[in-house]
Amino acid sequence: MRKLIFAILVCLLLVACRAQPTPTPVTMIMPVQPTWTPTLASWDTPIPLPRHTIAPGVAPTNPPIPTATATSVEPTMTPKPTATPTSMAPTTAPTLTPTPTATVPTATPTPRTPTPTSPPPTATKPPAPTATPTPAPGNVLTNGDFEGDFTDEGVGVGWSRFFNGDASFFWAPSTWPPVVASGAQSQGMSIADTPKSDRYIGIYQTASVVAGASYRLELSGLIRALNAQPGSYDNRMQWGIDQTGGTDWTAVTEWTDLGWDEQGMDTADLTMGHYTTTITAQGKKLTLFIRGWVKWPKNPNRAEFYVDNVKLVGPKPR
């Protein structure tokens, strides 16, 4: 009996197993986050830009990076039939197709027109100042050694004469060696028979000079007088300057004594006097005056004045 029942149960079980529908494999589709592979967009590629294409103080603007959107696949659930659970075949994982990466458009930089810049000024070297040549020093007087010709009035060429009258006045070149400082001749002047005091005889010359420059005055000479009395200061020689170049000897306000004492007419051994001083020119012209002075009225009387080697040494104007 038991065997019969067991056989019937086995048969029922077999019938039931055959009647059981084949289970449909359930595919579980799970959303899988796509793997993001960084892609170097073309706008990240360094593009050499021309200089001065970006205005100072303005930062370049890069295009925004698009956000990749992953498409999730909603899994489809198949209702599980009510059945006797059996072992299920392993589910094969579906192959997921990654969502294509959006292509970022290449950012094309807009060329900026460089602002024209004025070229830097070229440094101009100032011209070197022209050096004013220094005039060469020399004697600015003409025929100061009296070796040149003499005029019909007995005055060396380049010189002029002056006197104040009321006596006998005489000018002539002298070749007598005792009254010549150097060379062959000197300038001689004489006053005779002076009924009045303060008789003057002289010569003068106007020279071109450099204003403000210093000049060295040099001259030689001597005084001879009838009945000479050395140390009496009866007969003297002087010089004066007109700083404006004037020729009026009476306009000279300052006369300087040469310091030469008178010597007798019969003196065998005459002494030549020499004088040197410095003059500062105040203008472009100056006039040098040299005169003999008889102080007291005498009759008969004779005084001789000799001048030689007159120099006014300094810069010559160009």
Q: Per-residue pLDDT tens for 163-208?
A: 999 999 999 999 999 999 999 999 999 999 999 999 999 999 999 9
pLDDT value of residue 184: 97
Place 92 in a pLDDT band, splitting at 50, 70 and 90: very low
Identify the bridge partners of residue 192 per DSSP, sorted by sequence position.
168, 302
Global confidence as pTM: 0.60
The SS3 assignment for 16 reads: helix
pLDDT value at 23 more than 60: no
The pLDDT of 114-120, averaged and rounded, is: 56
Judged on CB neighbours under 10 Å (0-12, 13-18, 19+), 179 is buried
The pLDDT of 257-271, averaged and rounded, is: 93
* Listed range (100-104, 250-254, 266-270, 286-290) with the worst mean pLDDT: 100-104
Q: Which residue has the higher pLDDT, 41 or 282?
A: 282
Q: What are phi and psi of 268, to 5 degrees?
A: -80, -35
Measured between its terminal Cα atoms, the distance across the chain in Å is: 168
pLDDT value of residue 13: 76
pLDDT value at 38 more than 50: no
The SS3 assignment for 193 reads: strand
Place 14 in a pLDDT band, splitting at 50, 70 and 90: confident
Query: The sheet that has 255-257: what strands, in order across it?
Result: 160-163, 199-208, 285-294, 235-242, 255-257
Beta strands in 164-225 (DSSP E): 168-174, 186-194, 199-208, 214-225
pLDDT value of residue 168: 96
Residue ranges and CATH numbers for the domains of the chain are: 137-315 (2.60.120.260)
The pLDDT of 121-146, averaged and rounded, is: 77
pLDDT value of residue 69: 45
Identify the bridge partners of residue 286 per DSSP, sorted by sequence position.
207
> Which residue is it, tokens 């039931």?
16
| Average predicted confidence (pLDDT) for the chain | 78
Highest-scoring range by mean pLDDT, 7-16, 76-85, 100-109, 305-314: 305-314
Place 87 in a pLDDT band, splitting at 50, 70 and 90: very low
The pLDDT of 201-226, averaged and rounded, is: 97
- What is the pairing mode between strands 255-257 and 235-242? antiparallel
* Listed range (69-78, 107-116, 219-228, 259-268) with the worst mean pLDDT: 69-78
d(CA 153, CA 132) in angstroms, rounded, equals 42
Q: Establish whether the linkage from the previous residue to 121 is cis, with ω within 30° of 0.
A: no
pLDDT value of residue 3: 76
- What is the pairing mode between strands 255-257 and 214-225? unpaired
pLDDT value at 242 more than 80: yes
Token pair, residue 238, equals: 């002087």
pLDDT value at 72 more than 70: no
pLDDT value at 292 more than 80: yes
Token pair, residue 96, equals: 């997921």
